[in-house]
Chains A and B, each alone.
Chain A
Amino acid sequence: MTAVMQARLPAPARLRDPMLPSLYRLERLQWDTRDTFSMDLLPQNGADMPAFKPGQFNMVYVYGVGEIPISISGDPGRRDVLIHTTRAVGTVTRAMSEMKVGDTLGIRGPFGTAWPVDAVRKHDVVIIAGGIGLAPLRPAMYRILATREHFGRVVLLYGARTPGDVLYRRELKQWRSEFDLDVFVTVDRATGSWRGSVGLVTQLIGRAPFDPLNTVAMVCGPEVMMRFTTLELEKRGIDRNNIYISFERNMKCGVGLCGHCQFGSVFVCKEGPVLRYSQMQHLLSKWEI
């Protein structure tokens, strides 16, 4: 019995306890908006930084306070820094936002599935983000831009609540100025000086320039936004197999053992967070699954 079990165990599982954090040093903390900040991190003592794929997340621990999942928002092509963007809304993220350069954080990961960037070459790509949902999609943008010639049209549709909530402003402006990118930004509620688009991000989908029959969509935002976005994408004629969504759920372990992130038949930390819409569609029309 024992021998049989040992034989079918995956070898890497024994190498390192997945619950044990590695130590990272805070190199920089920068506020992107009034409630959202980005952290630049580096492994302590010159340790190696594991590679990550766009869309993956880490479990980030603040000493004595707690640990939460945060998607990686930096460039997967850069091995010199780990970047996380998060909102200061909970106990752990507030404590994080008060950390000083040189402080230590615990990191476990990277975990979870990735945006299928390299698998969808030759296609048009439409990236649709709501609010902080842009953070896990930014690595996909970086990856696409690094290999731009392999893709058809690349469209980014981004919706924020107010102009003050627009994330990564500098980069959005730069991307908008590129001839081979179509970037549309909209806000739910305009304030004083805003002269841009007002309305939900779903309203941008109808007139966005992509060929529905040859497009892959990557969507991340509040769940209600993703429900309506996927419906709009289907209306435009994109195959539901070509629509990818990144989900948010409570996570305690990040490796499919604690049960918290269950959504129907998947553990979002393990089979997700990036999942095909066709796989999750039947649950998206239901509440409280």
Chain B
Amino acid sequence: MRAKNGKVSTRAVIDRQDFQQLFDHLSAQGYQLVGPRLRDNAIVYDELSAVTDLPIGYVDEQEKGSYRLTKTAQPTLFGYGLGPQSWKKYLFPPVVRLWQAQRHNGGFDVIPEDHEPRLLALIGVRPCELKAIAIQDRVFMGGAYADPIYQAQREQLFIVAVNCGKAGATCFCTSMDAGPRAASGYDLALTEILEANRHIFLVDAGSEKGEAVLRTIPQRPATDLDIAAGERIIAQTAEQMGRVLDTNRIKEMLYANYEHARWDQVAARCLMCGNCTQVCPTCFCTTVEDVTDLSAATAERRRVWDTCFSLDFSYIVGGSVRASPKARYRQWMMHKLATWIDQFGSSGCVGCGRCITWCPVGIDITEEARAIRSDSEDKRFTPATGGRKHEHA
């Protein structure tokens, strides 16, 4: 429906019974399919070979610190929301060897690592996840130095997005302009429509690659009725949004509240576990580990996901810069919602709600932001009550 950047946009309908052909076709082209699968009572991303690998009929209930799956009799392929993992594990692996070194008398040689990217087809990428990938693109490829591992893998993706048919209780993508409809950044975007007498997928091609794939599988042009049914589903999802984050001048609002009492209160509850940073689809911090074998004949450097919640993260001689839990929680939230905007031109939050669901003590970023805004020392930021009181000074 949206012809972005003048690209041709095709709207078609694929029948559920032909859906496997999309998988088959992508496999035949050499893509490894990855997507949602059931494991340990959660939906994770893993390799897929058939449509039946998807968690068919499963729905999830999410709340602060709570995630529960239920199997229903519905034959939906994508009836659930987000699980704990995001797609960043494919583009930005949790552990990666950067190079090895081999010692010889007095010196050593560095052996570069060959990071061969895989042809990956990501199946079931939600709109907020597309936005998260676009954000990480700017982080890893937008500056003077690009991350070669990310960049190489990024070029080998085929992205099948799925518009959301249900919003979870911790979702707030509408606040972050990140959903529930995929706007750009996909090859194909699906809307799953399950009605009494039919089970179809409304398909949008977002790239030439996507269009070419679409042409090879059984499909028919979408009718106005199909399109209207898809629109209804997306509109309904937007209505169901479980949470709201007021982003009006949020950067200025937070900058005016570095010393707000709320930081102490949230720090008293926060366990500093870093779960939020691991499940966040945009968090990108890493550390390096330099290790040797027992004889020290070979050494290697690994890059691993890190978290700004650890004391070690900001350590310099003389002590950690952010020694207090308050400073560490503030750093994370301030970065996500404020300094990120200065650094990368957009918020670092897409409203996926994972940090809320997977926080073991149920800290809710939307609640924290609201608490600070409602009691801001600077009254220009108190919640909107209508009128135009939020203009820039």
Chain A residues with CB under 8 Å of chain B are 1-2, 4-6, 9-10, 12-14, 17-21, 23, 25, 44, 61, 63-67, 87, 89-90, 102-104, 106, 222, 248-250, 252-253, 255-260, 262, 264-267, 270, 286-289
Contacting residues, chain B, for A23 (C-beta < 8 A)? 107-110
* A262 contacts B148, C-beta separation under 8 Å: no
Question: Are A288 and B321 in contact, CB atoms less than 8 angstroms apart?
Answer: yes
B288: chain A residues at CB < 8 Å are 67, 252-253, 258
Contact A250 B314 (CB under 8 A): yes
Q: Are A44 and B107 in contact (CB under 8 A)?
A: yes
- Whether A1 touches B145, Cβ cut-off 8 Å, given contacts A20-B99, A67-B290, A103-B106, is no
Instruction: State A102–B105 Cα separation when bound (angstroms).
Output: 10
Stretch at the interface among B32-40, B171-179, B190-198, B323-331: B323-331
Contact residues of B with A, CB < 8 Å? 5, 98-99, 101, 103, 106-110, 112, 137, 139-141, 143-148, 151, 154-155, 185, 187, 206-207, 209, 258-259, 284-288, 290-292, 296, 299, 301, 303, 306, 308, 313-318, 321-324, 326-327, 331, 335, 339, 342-343
- Complex Cα distance A87/B99, Å? 28
Determine the chain A residues whose CB is within 8 A of the CB of B143 once the complex forms. Answer: 255-257, 270
Q: What's the nearest-Cβ distance from chain A to residue B343, in Å?
A: 6
Q: Are A257 and B284 in contact (CB under 8 A)?
A: yes
Q: Which residue of A lies closest to B288 (CB)?
A: A252
Of B145, B296, B317, which one neighbours A13 at CB under 8 angstroms? Answer: B145
Known contacts A25-B107, A259-B286, A260-B314; can you find 17 more A-B pairs with CB under 8 A? A1-B187, A5-B137, A6-B155, A13-B146, A17-B112, A18-B145, A23-B109, A44-B107, A63-B103, A63-B108, A103-B106, A250-B314, A253-B288, A255-B143, A262-B339, A265-B339, A289-B322
Contacting pair B106 A1 (CB below 8 A):
no
A19 vs B287: C-alpha distance when bound (angstroms):
12
Min Cβ gap A89→B in Å is 5
Residues on B with C-beta less than 8 A from A256 are: 143-145
Given contacts A2-B155, A252-B287, A104 and B108 within 8 Å (CB-CB): yes
B284 touches A104 (CB 8 A): no
Given A260-B313, A286-B258, are A20 and B110 neighbors across the interface (CB < 8 Å)?
Answer: yes
- How far does the Cβ of B14 sit from chain A's closest Cβ, in whole Å? 21
In the complex, chain B residues whose CB is within 8 Å of the CB of A87: 317
Q: How far is A248 from B317 in the complex, measured between Cα atoms in Å? A: 10
Contact yes or no, B323 A1, CB < 8 A = no
Which A residues are CB-close (under 8 A) to B148? 13-14, 17
In the complex, which residues of chain A have a beta carbon less than 8 angstroms from the beta carbon of B284?
257, 259
Q: In the bound complex, how far is the Cα of B141 from the Cα of A274, in angstroms?
A: 24
Query: With A and B bound together, what is the CA distance between A264 and B107 in angstroms?
Result: 40
CA distance A121 to B362 in the complex (A): 57
Q: Which residue of A lies closest to B291 (CB)?
A: A64
A255 adjacent to B145 (CB under 8 Å): yes
A-B contact pairs, 21 of them (CB 8 A): A1-B206, A5-B137, A9-B141, A13-B144, A13-B148, A13-B151, A14-B151, A19-B301, A21-B110, A63-B299, A87-B317, A90-B317, A250-B316, A256-B144, A257-B286, A258-B286, A259-B284, A259-B286, A264-B339, A288-B324, A289-B321
CA of A19 to CA of B296 in the docked complex: distance in angstroms? 21
Main secondary structure of the interface of A (DSSP, over half): loop
Closest chain A residue to B139 by CB distance? A257
A14 to B109, CA, bound (A): 22
**Residues of chain B contacted by A4 (CB below 8 angstroms):** 5
Chain A residues with CB below 8 A from B101, complex form: 63-64, 106
B292 contact set on A, CB distance < 8 A = 63-64
Kindly list chain A residues whose C-beta atoms are within 8 Å of the C-beta of B315.
250
B1 CB → nearest A CB, Å:
18
Q: Are A103 and B107 in contact, CB atoms less than 8 angstroms apart? A: yes
Determine the distance from Cα of A252 to Cα of B310 in the docked complex, in whole angstroms: 15
CB-based contact B107/A5 at 8 Å: no
A-B complex: 7 closest residue pairs judged by Cβ atoms: A259-B285, A288-B327, A104-B107, A265-B342, A255-B145, A64-B292, A13-B146
List of A residues within 8 angstroms of B151 by Cβ: 9, 13-14
In the complex, how many angstroms separate the beta carbon of B128 from the nearest chain A beta carbon?
Answer: 18
CB A100 to nearest CB in B, in angstroms, measures: 8
The smallest C-beta distance from A172 to any residue of chain B, in angstroms, reads 23
Cα distance A248–B319 in the bound complex, in angstroms? 12
- Residue of chain A at shortest CB distance from B283: A259
Residues in B neighbouring A64, C-beta threshold 8 A: 101, 103, 290-292, 296, 299
